[in-house]
Structure 1
């Protein structure tokens, strides 16, 4: 599909197919992995793709890659604290680098990225939620690999990918919330049976123990249901 001059109807159909396939995946990581593969198949000029995220405006990670190259390029950005992917994460919705040899915005990054075989890049901001950010980054060994069509198709693709990823993450959060509720319910049942407590009293025991031991309530409940112990020495 990553061909230039393609029919708009074909593009719309392809993007719909991509979006449908992404929404059918079971986890956020599966969605991330599928996004980078589909990006190379969809955006003209793209030879490699990766997704970079920032959690809490501090922890920067490459969470999906088509191969090793995106991770190697991102490592250069981490080490130099500069580059188009970071720019797309924090400042711009789209960042284009037609020719790294002529790039003056990030000299330290550009020189090292060229040694890795990258000549042009295109980055799109995927999402910004509170202190969490994500960007889709495309790479090519060719100079000026990304033309106007690449920018257009990439922007549309990034929009579809962002929606699919948000849906997958929401489903995971909901599943985790349900699992946490069930764990706490089981833990309460154990304490109620063992110590003849009411439901409210059992929950109070869990909360107080969580605060006293500086342990997440979910982790405390998980320990109790797995080992039968509330702490290292079961106590109420």
Structure 2
């Protein structure tokens, strides 16, 4: 691999990832970049664990989804392990699915039947967050070299920073939207019931707690219907 050109390409991709306008768009660009920039990569996706449940994000094809479902059912696999918060490994690679693998004795033969020839999994993490794993697949055994592993790790490093930034931006936008919605609902209550600002907020909070409804949803009901 010509590393100078690859480094320039990664710098360009990093700027492109940060320019995406949503978390979903960032994820889709990350997985597409894997198929474009890692030699031998046929499909890619991001696997996220919620407890023991697997979520497949931005898969580029059905092979990714089927592999993720298999790992969830078996509770084992290189991408499943890479996505676990307690994992000590940052990179997993299975070079050849036509051979037995001591670590994933159930997953490897069943993934081979799905059409997986070789694969790699890269933990997506920053200093503050672990965000899942970037997983790349080839239908050919022995498709990924040591250089490809380094390329995947570099891509995953850029991807993690961009994904963390996109999520932080989305959370900020949601917080600002929620704040505006609650303020609007409080204004309605203050006008209709002649309450102070503190009293109006207390009404919202009490209803939220008593009915186990999120404060944002209570506020939305008031702005849409004029009352709770």
Aligned residue for 1:107, secondary structure, equals coil
Aligned residue for 1:65, secondary structure, equals coil
When normalised by structure 1's length, the TM-score is 0.91
1:43 CA displacement: 1.3
| 2:44 corresponding residue in structure 1 | 49
> Do the aligned partners of 1:51 and 1:136 also contact (CA within 8 Å) in 2?
yes
Please give the root-mean-square deviation of Cα atoms over the aligned residues, in Å: 1.6
- Between the aligned partners of 1:20 and 1:128, the Cα distance in structure 2 is 17
Count of matched residue positions in the alignment of Structure 1 and Structure 2: 224
Alignment of 1:20-169 (within 5 A): 20-55=15-50, 57-90=51-84, 91=87, 92-102=89-99, 103-127=101-125, 133-169=131-167
Does the alignment pair 1:178 with 2:172? Answer: no
> Do the aligned partners of 1:44 and 1:149 also contact (CA within 8 Å) in 2?
no
When normalised by structure 2's length, the TM-score is 0.94
1:45 CA displacement: 2.0
Please give the per-residue CA displacement for 1:155-208, whole angstroms capped at 9, x wherever unaligned.
Answer: 111000000000000000000000000000000000000011111110011111
Aligned residue for 2:140, secondary structure, equals coil
- Between the aligned partners of 1:117 and 1:220, the Cα distance in structure 2 is 49
- Between the aligned partners of 1:195 and 1:74, the Cα distance in structure 2 is 53
Change (3 A) 1:159 1:131: closer
> Do the aligned partners of 1:31 and 1:165 also contact (CA within 8 Å) in 2?
yes
1:87 CA displacement: 1.3
Please give the per-residue CA displacement for 1:47-75, whole angstroms capped at 9, x wherever unaligned.
Answer: 110100123x3432011111111001111
1:131 CA displacement: 9.1
Aligned residue for 1:15, secondary structure, equals helix
Structure 2 residues not aligned, in runs of 5+: none
| 2:206 corresponding residue in structure 1 | 208
